[in-house]
Each structure stands twice: as structure tokens, then as C-alpha cells.
Amino acid sequence: MIKASHNDITDSALLSRFYADQNKEWLGILLERYTLLLLGVCMKYLKNEEEAKDAVQQIFLKALNELEKYPVTYPKSWLYKIACNHCLMKLRDQKINVPLTDQFFEESDSPEDHLAKELNLTLLADCLSELNKEQQTCITLFYLRKMSYQEIVEQTGFTALQVKSHIQNGKRNLKLFMEKKRIN
């Protein structure tokens, strides 16, 4: 049995131990470390404590399943992206009524394709966070929540011209940030 106190063991060491002996208690310790982070992310998107708690449980189940299939190098950012994607898909489904599917990772993807997509999504999320607040809001509402310009105007209080400008400038800046990070 694994002892309860493992604050001195790094995330990478916990994953290495899991991959070595397949003992899911190592993953339990790892996931427990990020419960509050994931709950915060889910609350930010879903705005409902019970939905956020349910989402964290679903994210844990997905993480447990995925960690058995694919090696993960940076668990904190990986879990963060799973949480963001899960919440965005949940919000999108509520708006559009599309069956829940993971559009980012298809079952036919090879582990290499999966890793490449994971890295691109992480890079995109990092770059999105570098945009100014207005651009970030408009890009998120338009592309991820599939809102129209008019709906964004109503939600944000920006004029239609400001929304269009924030989206265009945000797209351009995202592209520049991503190119810059890919070079480095």
C-alpha cells in the first residue's frame, strides 16, 4: 500500500512510478494535487458549482483512461487542457445540441498524432492567454462558443466594430505568438 504523504515526490516521479508498476494509487495522488485547479477551471467556464464538481469527476475518469494509453510529460498543463476542452465542449453542446464528441482527438489518431494535437492545443491555449482581455474574450466567444458578432456585442457591451477589430487583431496576434513560440 502507498503511504498517504507524498508531497516531496514530483509529478514526473509519480507518473514514472505508475508507468513502472501500473498502480493507480500513484495517479490518485497526482490527480488529488490538481483537484482545486480543475475545480477552479470548471467553475470559471460553467459558473455552477455542482456542474463543475461533476465535470472534475469526468475529467478524472478521462485522465485515468488516457494516462494508461499515452505517456504524458507535463501533467499539470495536460490536465488543464483536458478541463478547458471538456468545459468548452459542454458549453458548446448546451448552445448547439450536438452529441458530445471529442473533436480534438479522434479515435483513429495514432499516439504521435494525438501528441502533436495535444502540443498544438497547449500552444494555442498559452498564446490565447497572452492576448489582451478584449481580444481573448472576443476570440473565445466567437470561435469556441460559436457566438455571432451580435451576441458578442450584447454580452460584452463592445460595439460591432470593436468586436470585429478584436477578433481580427486577436487572430493575427495568435498567429504571431504561435509562430514565435514554435521557433523558440
Domains of the chain, residue spans:
1-110, 131-184
Average pLDDT over residues 147-175: 93
**What pLDDT, on a 0 to 100 scale, did the predictor assign at position 106?**
46
pLDDT above 80 for 114: no
Distance between CA 6 and CA 57 in Å, rounded? 22
Lowest mean pLDDT among 3-12, 52-61, 108-117, 140-149: 108-117
Correct CATH for 1-110 of 3.40.50.300, 1.10.10.10, 3.40.1180.10, 1.10.1740.10: 1.10.1740.10
Domain 131-184 indexed as CATH 1.10.10.10: yes
Which pLDDT tens digit goes with each residue over 52-84? 899 999 999 998 888 888 888 888 888 888 888
**What pLDDT, on a 0 to 100 scale, did the predictor assign at position 100?**
35
Distance between CA 85 and CA 124 in Å, rounded? 12
Domain 1-110 matches domain 131-184 at the CATH topology level: no
**What pLDDT, on a 0 to 100 scale, did the predictor assign at position 60?**
92
Query: 121 or 73, which is more confident?
Result: 73
pLDDT above 60 for 1: no
**What pLDDT, on a 0 to 100 scale, did the predictor assign at position 118?**
63
Confidence of residue 112 (pLDDT cuts 50, 70, 90): low
pLDDT above 50 for 101: no
Which pLDDT tens digit goes with each residue over 40-50? 888 888 888 89
**What pLDDT, on a 0 to 100 scale, did the predictor assign at position 76?**
85
**What pLDDT, on a 0 to 100 scale, did the predictor assign at position 5?**
59
Q: Write a three-state SS string for 50-70.
A: HHHHHHHHHHHHHHHHHHHHC
CB atoms within 10 A of CB 124: 15
Cell numbers linked to 170: 486577436
